[in-house]
Amino acid sequence: MLKAPQILVRSLVLAASAAALLGCGQRGPLYLPAGPAAAQRATLPETLNPSGGNNNAVQAPSPSASQPR
C-alpha cells in the first residue's frame, strides 16, 4: 500500500509533467512558413553544421602529388 509521501510525490510529478506538456509549443496546427522572410532562414542541416559541409574534411593527396619530380 502506498504511503502519504509517495502519493504526494507521484501526484506532484504527474501535475508537473502535465503542466510541462500543456505549456510548451504552439497552439493550433503546425505549418512551414513559406514567405520571403522564411527564405532567409537557415535549414536544419545548416543549423547543425554551420561550416557548410565538408570544408574541414581531410582530403587524400592526389597520385600525381606523391610522385617525385
CA distance 68 to 59: 20
Give every residue of the chain whose pLDDT is below 50, as ranges.
56-57
Cell numbers 509521501 correspond to: 5
Give the pLDDT confidence score for residue 9 in this predicted structure: 94
pLDDT value at position 56? 47
* pTM of the shown model: 0.35
Backbone angles phi, psi at 17, to 5 degrees: -65, -45
Give the three-state DSSP class for 3.
Answer: coil
Q: How far is CA 33 from CA 29, 37, 40, 64, in A?
A: 12, 8, 11, 50
CB contact at 8 A, 46 and 52 = yes
Give me the residue label for grid cell 600525381: 64
